[in-house]
Structures are given as C-alpha cells and as structure tokens.
Amino acid sequence: MTSLQQLISTFDNKDSIEALYQQQLDEKVTLFKNAINPFVDDATYNASDMNIIESPRRHYRLRAEFKIWHEGEQSHYAMTEKSTKELIFLEQFPVACAAINQLMPELLNVICKQEILRRKCFQIEFLSTLSGDTLVSLIYHKALDDSWIEAIKPIKEQLGINIVGRSRKQKIVLDRDYVDETLNVNSRTYHYKQIEGGFTQPNGKVCEKMLEWAVNNSRDLGGDLLELYCGNGNFTLPLSQNFSRVVATEIAKTSVNAALSNLEKNNIDNVFIARMSSEEFVSAMDKKREFRRLKDIDLDDYAFSTVFVDPPRAGLDEETVNMVQRFDHIIYISCNPATLVENLNTLSKTHSIKALAAFDQFPYTDHLEAGVILSKRS
C-alpha cells in the first residue's frame, strides 16, 4: 500500500503515477486470480477472460473526509498516515473528484473568517457526484444554535452547495441532506438520491462499469430476481430490466427509503423492497417465521431464477450461503475477495463460475472489488 505522503507527491508526475497505478493493479489482480483459480473449471470458463475494470488515475473519488486541525489563527485539512500515525496537512487531495478539490480551499477560507463557524469544528466530510452536485457535512464538538445557522446560510448560497451541520445528537439540514446522482449504464441513464451518512459507491466511473457488467451478464437469465443487501438500489435499478419481478432486501432504514425514492424517480414498478436482514429473509423463505414486512407479497408466487448478493466485508453468513445455493444463478459482488473465496468453498460444490471481473474501486490501496457469476451444475 502506498503511503499518503508518497501518493500525493507522485501525482505531480504523470508517468510516475501511471507506473505506480499499473504495478499495484497488477499485484492485486494476480492475488485475486491465484485465490480464485481453484474454483475455476476450465471446461466452463477460461480464467484469462476475466474482465479487469481500471479506474481513472486521479479525481475519481466522490467521497472524502478530513480532520480539521487548528493552529492559532490557522486551520488545515488533515489526514493521518496509516503506518506512522503522522498527521499530514492537505491543501488539495488529488484522488478526490474535481468538484471537491475546487471546494476545499474556498470552504475552509470562508469558515475561518467567522469564529462561530471555525470554533470546535473537528471534521469536514464531502459527498459529490459525477455531475458535480455536492454536499458538505461540518462536524463539531459543540451544540449548534440559531447563530450558527444564520452564519452558515450565506456560505451555502455563495458556494452553491448543500450543507449539513452535525454535533452530538444533533443534525441541522440546510435545504437537503442528499445529492442527486446520474449514472449511465449501456447508454441508459439512472437517477439516484444519495443520502448523507448512507453508503454509496465512492468511485462513480468504476461503479458505472460494475453496473454494466452485471446487466450484460444477466440478460438471458430470465425469471424473477432476489437481491440481498440492495442499499439505495444501486444495482437494483439497472438489473430490474432483465427480470420479470425483483424482491430486494436491505436492513438500513435510510437506504430503504432512498431505494424506494429511486425506484419512483426512475419509473420502475417491478421491484418490491423489504426492510430485512439476509438472515431474516432466509427464515421467511424457509417458513420458519412470518414477517409483517412481507404481508403484501407471496414468496411462493415468485419464480426466482437468480440471486444477487453484494454483502459487507464479512461476506455471506453460513445460512445465507446455504440458501443462495438453491438458485440456478448467483451474481456475487464482493468488496473483500478473501471472504468471497471462503463462500466459494461452499458455493463451488453446487455451482460453476461463468464470469469473473475485477473492479479497481480503490486505486493505490490493497482493496479490490470482485464480481463472480455462478450457475448451478448439471
């Protein structure tokens, strides 16, 4: 993993950053291929056909958060060097999108001119989109009152952004606490409400390629789709076109509300969202428990052919792994190839790999997003 200091200095040299990017991507992909190779059946899939989706080299990240470090009359954006715990001051952050980089000095400058805005502000978080719609969260070690609101309102208008103020047990929203994103998938546009504090994919360009890969590899699967961990509907929206009906589950209430809003925004009417954990849905499928949240649908009426999962870093729990084995097709998006491999130890007993992809969501880090499509063995 490249140190923060080294990365920032390397960005000044285009050739150096390209060489660094390719070296680290090659290392990550090689590790993934070696880990996945035991599960690849040469008779059904050629591992050399793996899709490798590269990232833009700079200005790719749509989320960023910084400590605010105060020294006398000066305030700085700061991040901690992971290996040494050293504090690094920043004026720009080249991995963040252009809108965030443009806003960073402008915002800090106007905040520092008013003590009521500067004092006890210890963190600033940015959430932006490919279209440049941007929201800023200012986080304080003090209660925020009407005088703070009156001071921040003109800044919101001056900078043309949305602002949220936070302190312990307090959240003040000026206008709205979300950004509007538009993603293009195979020349078709999808509109998303992305809420402050909720999960969103940080690398917009790679996210579009991930969605295209999932859509293109599920065109001919047919039937109905079950999706676990649907979040704000990131994959749900484009995948819905390939299936008769979709049942999608998500445990976080804010994400469920965003998903419902996004379905309506995109005029998609063949999706049912259930606010449930994957473990709860397994119990419902197995008829071990009845849930009021499913009272409006009959699961037995669905002809599920495919299950789509995008679990947290811990991967799928044992009961969920056993449940998804019942489906003819499994689309698995993983933010942690190590737990994906653990799950494949079980899934490969009943299913064979039909497609593989590596998505470089997080350049210059050890992290790699992976995609696997499996079909039930004859």
- Residue positions annotated with a catalytic role: 335, 369
From the list 265, 231, 264, 261, the residue with the least C-alpha distance to 248 is: 231
- HEC-encoded secondary structure of 299-360: HHHCCEEEEEECCCCCCCCHHHHHHHCCCCEEEEEECCHHHHHHHHHHHCCCEEEEEEEEEC
The token duo for 320 is 């969920």
Instruction: Give the Cα separation of 250 and 234 in Å (integer).
Output: 12
Contact 238, 244 (CB under 8 A): no
Query: Using CA atoms, how far apart are residues 331 and 154, in angstroms rounded to an integer?
Result: 47
Question: DSSP letter string over 51-119?
Answer: EEEPPPSSS-BSEEEEEEEEETTEEEEEEE-TTT--EEEES--TTB-HHHHHHHHHHHHHHHT-HHHHT
Nearest to 287 by CA among 306, 300, 270: 300
CA distance 257 to 260: 5
The answer to whether 20 and 2 are in contact (CB under 8 A) is yes
Q: What is the DSSP string of 148-213?
A: HHHHHHHHHHHHT-EEEEEETTEEEEES-SEEEEEEEETTEEEEEEEETTS---SBHHHHHHHHHH
